[in-house]
Amino acid sequence: MSTSDGSSQSSSSPQWSDLPDDLLGMVRLRLASPHDRVRLAAVCKVWRAAMSRLPAPPTVPLLLLSQCEAPTTEQLRGTKRLCGPDDSWDVRVPDKADGKWFVGSHEGGWVAAVYSSTLVIVNLFSDAEVEVSATCSPNLQYIDPARLRKIIFSEDPTSSSCIVAAIPHRWSYVAVCKIGGHKNGWTKEEMHGEIIMDIAFCNGELYALMYPNEELAKFEIDIKVDGTPIITSNHTMAIKRRDRYENYPGYLIELHGKPSMAILHVWLPNREPFFKVFALVDAGNHEGYMYKWVEVMSFGDHALFFGLNSSKAVHVTDIHHGVKRNHIYYSTKKERWPKIKVPDDALYSVITNDDEHMYCRKNESIGDGVESTGYYMVGYKNSLMWIYPPCV
């Protein structure tokens, strides 16, 4: 074939599918949205294969809205909304998780969902499922999944050594079980009148933050020959009480290798709630206490994500898009208003399939160098949680 100037055009002109892996990798790192990264991999077989060879970009938690729809409402089933710092998009929910309450999550799209006496741990994106028993073995206790309000994982749910920990709606005990198979049961540790605010794994060990005295309980877990985890004991750590104490619920996370708690309280003169974060540090046996809570003035290269069912400290790199270091992202609920009114300073707003309303706004700083962005759900039906999408 000849061109207008008489020169011949090669039939082997460069094609988009010929882009080398390093250039495709650079393109993918510039895409903030997991949705856009999925579309990039779907362009052609060559690009899809290249995505599997390239190092996975970092992920950040996304807010999962519409945690549960009525199982009999067919028009509302099948999809849920994900919102993050950069975008909002729908994801199809596997049948086994559809119509259930989402009470826990882990990196890569894993969620724990309950309804009636059924508990499933399933991946929202791959439909993969891991087994966890709701039955009991000899000398272990039966746990009704419908009573659980939060579930956490010691590591990736696909790992054979993963331990699942849970607390119930009445905040009265901590329970653990093992991933995989129906021979494993739950074992629980009653807290005898104490109220559990939150639980977290830190350096592989399980802790519980107690209400209202901000006490920290540490659990000793042994593994039986068949792999079943058993809580053998718990002890309350000797922590010096903070000078200024607020009787408000908090969150428990691992930050810089230390158990840390966040308290959402009215700190500002304009009565705007704001987080303060405190890390557990050695007290040097001062006044008979081994530990004390010390306010964290900087998270370094981390951003903190707090939700009712999932909380996490995330290491932020230069290729995290839309996520800021030393920043707090959190989700919270507001009562349903007679008429939805979005604040003038809202960053964006989303209406869910079940007619609940979420808006995102940046909060006023209290001048300590830490900023926060709140995701506010207006309604009464659903709680909120953060989940990690897959690395795409």
Neighbours of 47 (CB within 10 A): 18
Per-residue pLDDT reduced to its tens digit, 108-152: 889 998 887 788 899 988 889 998 765 444 445 667 777 888 999
Lowest mean per-residue pLDDT among 145-159, 189-203, 219-233, 322-336? 322-336
pLDDT at 11: 55
Residue type, 107: E
Helical H runs in 126-245?
A: none
First-to-last C-alpha distance (Å) of the chain: 41
pLDDT classification of 252: cutoffs 50, 70, 90: very high
DSSP codes joined into one string, 276-324: EEEEEEE-TTGGG-SEEEEE-S--TTEEEEE-SS-EEEEE--TT-SS--
Q: Take residue 133 and report the two structure tokens written for it.
A: 């028993």
Per-residue pLDDT reduced to its tens digit, 282-301: 987 666 789 999 999 899 99
Give the whole-angstrom CA distance, residue 76 versus residue 240: 50
pLDDT at 138: 42
User: Which domains occur in the chain, in start order?
Assistant: 1-57 (no CATH), 58-387 (2.120.10)
Task: Indicate if the pLDDT at residue 229 is higher than 70.
Answer: yes
Give the whole-angstrom CA distance, residue 354 versus residue 344: 24
pLDDT at 132: 77
Q: Take residue 8 and report the two structure tokens written for it.
A: 């011949």
64: exposed, middle or buried (C-beta count within 10 Å: 0-12, 13-18, 19+)? buried
The percentage of the chain sitting over the pLDDT mark of 90, rounded to a whole number, equals 24
List of residues 6+ apart from 269 with CB closer than 8 A: none
pLDDT classification of 6: cutoffs 50, 70, 90: low
- To the nearest 10°, the Cα dihedral for 349, 353, 357, 359? -30
Winning range, highest mean pLDDT, from 47-61, 220-234, 320-334, 359-373: 220-234
pLDDT at 283: 86
Give the whole-angstrom CA distance, residue 357 versus residue 224: 47
Give the whole-angstrom CA distance, residue 372 versus residue 375: 10
CA atoms within 13 A on the CB side of 340: 14
Average pLDDT, integer, range 171-198: 82
Per-residue pLDDT reduced to its tens digit, 82-93: 887 767 777 788
pLDDT at 72: 46
Closest listed residue to residue 388, CA positions, set 59, 55, 39, 15: 59
Task: Indicate if the pLDDT at residue 173 is higher than 80.
Answer: yes
Helical H runs in the chain?
A: 21-29, 34-41, 45-53
Give the whole-angstrom CA distance, residue 55 versus residue 77: 34
List of residues 6+ apart from 379 with CB closer than 8 A: 333, 334, 336, 356, 357
pLDDT at 139: 45
Question: Within the chain, what is the greatest distance between any pair of CA atoms?
Answer: 93
Stated pTM of the model: 0.85
pLDDT at 381: 55
The H or E element that residue 350 is part of is: strand 346-351
Give the whole-angstrom CA distance, residue 23 versus residue 88: 27
The CA–CA distances, whole Å, from 194 to 44, 140, 217, 265, 292 equal 57, 22, 11, 22, 20
Give the residue, 384 or 211, on which the prediction is more confident: 211
Average pLDDT, integer, range 224-236: 86
Helix, coil or strand: residue 221: strand
